[in-house]
């Protein structure tokens, strides 16, 4: 007869008790326990392994439905698949596979199910929780009292709890069917308690994340200018206070004190006729308005603030600036004022909503599974072929089991109601956040529309002025052309007259009669020069027009290619 062995780190029974248990489980066979290199080796006859294969072959295939969702996966698959499969064989006339060597009579309670709970997971980055599952197969023989448990889980939590629950000798030394049945109920109850724990703290963390991402929506300054560009326009301290008062209501008294303390000096300087001084006042007004906006994050005491602001004010009052002052740079809080609600907040709210929906689904599936588990044992205990020994010996424990399961279901319903409330609150906050973003987008669009309208008005004024200038230029161009033509007409004659008035050509003035010779010379010189002048002007004019037409044609071709 061959032997096989399996190794374990430790076990909690004496050698004699372990061998007695194995003999009671498998029959009168020889079993050996060996310690080698700190490991316990259990030697059993190979014949029993063939019998155990028959046991696994007797397991219903429906249990595999709850095993398939396990495994290393990038994205959870079949994560929401849950339920309970009941394959019990209670009728004495419809027995299953009988294996006397293992104490299997073929009449048993067989069921497989899975449950989910939430456990701490420090490896998670944002939310240090992870929803984990456990698949369970259990069979209890009604005639022999033998039980078989198969649990599948990603860690050793269930295994450790079962070992802790079975640590006392009484748990394993039960000889009656009633005690074995009670142990099965206790194991089911332990799994049900695991499925109902930690949900309260998980929902608390989700609620905390929800409030952290959306608490600002209730007190959001939606009337704040959408862009820091509006801060560049000079304003009085009163206007600045009205514009930014709702942002930091907690420091309104300090802002009012600073404004009232500086207002007389500013009014005195406004009355000054100096243009440079007025420019300095406007820049200084903007400089003094900045602490009122971002003073929430400032930890400088009031006395320190006075020592910083007053010297600057006195310096500007006593020594007017002779040149243009550059406005102070705005702090990062104001530069990024439009990012008070970044899109990442909306993404985080969506993440919290998905987690709440996931938890709500887990509550429903766990409730249905526990309800089915309670129904299975209630139906089995009321069956006509259910053993009277177990019915009478475990009647109170069955009632306690049903009551405990109902209590866990009530806790799950309470957490489900709480999750529904948070989902409604989250939907309202999400809608409010969307509304704020849309409102700010609308205000920004309105702001830019006003700027565009102002620019369009300015362009219209400039266009009108340019049209007037073009009209005047056209008139002046006509006048210049007339002047040019007259100048060109008289220029040759003027040149000839000037040339003939010199000593190069002389005519005797002793006689006062008409001298055609001089006229011929004058016309012979002036007319060709006049014609040459007009021809040169015409050629240059045509060349200029040709160049303008060619440049316009090239520009139109480039524009058509770009389109």
CB atoms within 10 A of CB 463: 11
pLDDT at 340: 60
Let me know if residue 370 belongs to a domain: no
Cβ burial, residue 323 (10 Å; 0-12/13-18/19+): exposed
Q: What's the CA gap between 211 and 257, in Å, rounded?
A: 34
**For residue 503, which phi and psi values (nearest 5 degrees)?**
-85, 0
Q: What is the pLDDT of residue 360?
A: 92
> Which range has the top average pLDDT, 281-285, 391-395, 399-403?
399-403
Residue 143: predicted pLDDT? 85
Distance CA 414, CA 422 (A): 12
Predicted pLDDT of residue 541: 79
Torsion of CA 347, 348, 349, 351, to 10 degrees: 90
pLDDT digits (tens, 9 = 90+) for 403-418: 999 999 999 999 999 9
Q: What is the pLDDT of residue 170?
A: 56
Element (H, E) at 43: strand 39-45
Q: Look at the chain and report how many structural domains it folds into.
A: 1
User: What is the chain's mean pLDDT, rounded?
Assistant: 72
List Cβ neighbours of 63 (8 Å cut-off, separation of 6 or more).
85, 112, 135, 137, 150
156, containing H or E segment: none
Mean pLDDT of the region 37-48: 70
Q: Evaluate whether 187 touches 149 at the Cβ level (below 8 Å).
A: yes
User: At 58, is the pLDDT very low, low, confident or very high (cuts 50, 70, 90)?
Assistant: low
pLDDT of residue 196: 93
More confident residue, 464 or 59: 464
Residue 254 lies in a domain: yes
Residue 378's alpha-carbon distances to 88, 187, 368, 382, in angstroms, are: 13, 17, 15, 6
Model's pTM, two decimal places? 0.56
pLDDT of residue 40: 72
Percent of the chain with pLDDT over 70: 64
User: Within a domain: residue 291?
Assistant: yes
Residue 553 resides in a domain:
no
* pLDDT at residue 5 in the model: 62
What pLDDT band is residue 105 in, cutting at 50, 70 and 90? Answer: confident
When pLDDT is cut at 50, 70 and 90, the band that residue 390 belongs to is confident
The yes-or-no verdict on residue 430 having pLDDT over 50 is yes
Are the beta carbons of 227 and 444 closer than 8 angstroms?
yes
Tokens of 20: 């007695």
Whether 417 and 203 have beta carbons less than 8 Å apart is answered as no
User: In the structure, what pLDDT confidence band is assigned to residue 50 with cuts at 50, 70 and 90?
Assistant: low
β-strands 3-8, 32-36 pairing: unpaired
List strands edge to edge, sheet with 32-36: 3-8, 39-45, 32-36
Range of the domain at 272: 230-340
Query: What pLDDT was estimated at residue 341?
Result: 62
Residue scoring higher pLDDT (491 or 502): 491
**237 in a structural domain:** yes
Mean per-residue pLDDT for 455-481? 87
> Coil, strand or helix: which one is 117?
strand
d(CA 473, CA 469): 6
Count the Cβ atoms, other than its own, within 10 Å of residue 366.
24
Residue where the block lists tokens 């709500």: 360
CB 89 within 8 A of CB 62: no
Q: For 68-82, what is each residue's pLDDT tens digit?
A: 888 777 776 777 788
Point out the least confidently predicted range of 212-221, 266-275, 477-486, 530-539. Answer: 266-275
Residue-wise pLDDT for 86-98, tens only, equals 888 888 777 777 7
**Measured between alpha carbons, how far is residue 466 from residues 470, 475, 548, 552 in Å?**
6, 14, 21, 21
User: Backbone dihedral region of 8: left (phi > 0), alpha (psi from -120 to 50 degrees) or beta?
Assistant: beta
Predicted confidence (pLDDT) per residue in 183-203, tens digit: 899 999 999 999 999 999 999
Long-range CB contacts (within 8 A, 24+) of 363-368: 363/199, 363/412, 363/413, 363/415, 363/416, 363/419, 364/416, 365/80, 365/82, 365/83, 365/116, 366/82, 366/115, 366/116, 366/195, 366/196, 366/412, 367/409, 367/412, 367/413, 367/416, 368/82, 368/83, 368/84
DSSP annotation of 247 reads T
CA distances in angstroms from 196 to 59, 158, 210, 407, 423, listed in the order given? 28, 14, 23, 10, 20
End-to-end CA distance of the chain: 92
Specify the pLDDT at position 509. Answer: 57
Of 32-36, 298-302, 361-365, minimum mean pLDDT range = 298-302
Higher pLDDT, 334 or 403: 403
Q: Which residues pair with 4 in a beta bridge?
A: 44
Q: Has residue 281 been placed in a domain? A: yes
For residue 105, the Cα-to-chain-centroid distance in whole angstroms is 59
Domain-located, residue 91: no
Question: Measured between alpha carbons, how far is 198 from 126 in angstroms, rounded to an integer?
Answer: 18
Domain annotation covers residue 239? yes
* pLDDT at residue 144 tops 80: yes
pLDDT in tens, 110-129: 999 999 999 998 887 778 89
- Are residues 507 and 515 in contact, defined by beta-carbon separation less than 8 angstroms? yes
Q: Comparing C-alpha atoms, which of 51, 52, 91, 19 is closest to residue 380?
A: 91
Predicted confidence at residue 199, as pLDDT, reads 94
Structure confidence at residue 48 (pLDDT): 63
């Amino acid at each position: 007869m061959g032997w096989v062995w399996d190794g374990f780190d430790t076990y909690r029974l004496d050698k004699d008790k372990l061998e007695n248990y194995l003999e009671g489980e498998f029959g009168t066979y020889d079993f050996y326990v060996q310690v080698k290199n700190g490991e316990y080796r259990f030697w059993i006859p190979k014949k029993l392994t063939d019998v155990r294969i028959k046991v696994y072959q007797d397991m219903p295939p429906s249990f595999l439905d709850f095993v398939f969702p396990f495994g290393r996966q990038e994205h959870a698959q079949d994560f929401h698949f849950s339920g309970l499969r009941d394959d019990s064989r209670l009728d004495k006339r419809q027995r299953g596979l009988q294996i006397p060597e293992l104490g299997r009579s073929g009449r048993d309670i067989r069921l497989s199910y899975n449950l989910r709970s939430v456990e701490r997971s420090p490896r998670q980055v944002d939310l240090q929780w992870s929803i984990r599952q456990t698949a369970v197969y259990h069979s209890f023989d009604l005639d022999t009292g033998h039980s078989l448990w198969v649990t599948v889980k990603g860690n050793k939590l269930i295994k450790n709890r079962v070992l802790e629950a079975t640590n006392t000798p009484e748990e394993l030394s039960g000889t009656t069917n009633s005690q074995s049945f009670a142990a099965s109920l206790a194991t089911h109850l332990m799994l049900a308690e695991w499925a109902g724990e930690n949900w309260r703290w998980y929902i608390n963390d989700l609620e905390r994340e929800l409030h952290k991402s959306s608490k600002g929506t209730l007190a959001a300054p939606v009337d704040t200018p959408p862009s820091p560009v509006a801060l560049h326009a000079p304003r009085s301290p009163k206007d600045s206070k009205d514009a930014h008062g709702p942002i930091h209501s907690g420091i309104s008294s300090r802002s009012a004190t600073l404004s009232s303390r500086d207002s007389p000096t500013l009014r005195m300087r406004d009355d000054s006729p100096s243009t440079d001084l007025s420019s300095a006042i406007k820049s200084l007004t903007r400089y003094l308005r900045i602490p009122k906006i971002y003073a929430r994050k400032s930890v400088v005491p009031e006395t320190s603030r006075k020592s910083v602001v007053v010297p600057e004010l006195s310096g500007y009052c006593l020594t007017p600036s002779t040149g243009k002052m550059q406005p102070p740079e705005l702090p990062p809080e104001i530069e990024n004022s439009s990012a008070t609600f970044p899109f990442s907040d909306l993404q985080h709210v969506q993440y919290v909503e998905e987690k709440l929906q996931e938890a709500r689904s887990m509550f429903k599936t766990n409730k249905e599974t526990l309800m089915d588990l309670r129904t299975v044992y209630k139906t089995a205990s009321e069956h006509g072929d259910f053993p009277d020994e177990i019915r009478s010996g475990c009647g109170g424990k069955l009632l306690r089991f049903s009551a405990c399961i109902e209590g866990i279901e009530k806790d799950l319903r309470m957490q489900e109601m709480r999750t529904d409330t948070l989902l409604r609150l989250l939907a309202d906050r999400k809608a409010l956040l969307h509304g704020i973003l849309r409102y700010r987008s609308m205000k920004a669009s309105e702001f830019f529309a006003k700027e565009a309208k102002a620019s369009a008005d300015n362009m219209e004024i400039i266009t009108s002025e340019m049209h007037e200038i073009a009209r005047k230029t056209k008139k002046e161009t006509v006048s210049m052309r007339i002047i040019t033509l007259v100048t060109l007409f008289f220029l040759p004659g003027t040149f000839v007259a000037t040339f003939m008035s010199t000593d190069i050509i002389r005519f005797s003035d002793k006689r006062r009669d008409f001298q055609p010779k001089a006229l011929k010379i004058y016309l012979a010189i002036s007319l060709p020069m006049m014609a040459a002048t007009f021809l040169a002007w015409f050629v240059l004019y045509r060349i200029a027009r040709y160049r303008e037409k060619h440049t316009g044609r090239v520009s139109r071709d480039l524009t058509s290619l770009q389109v």
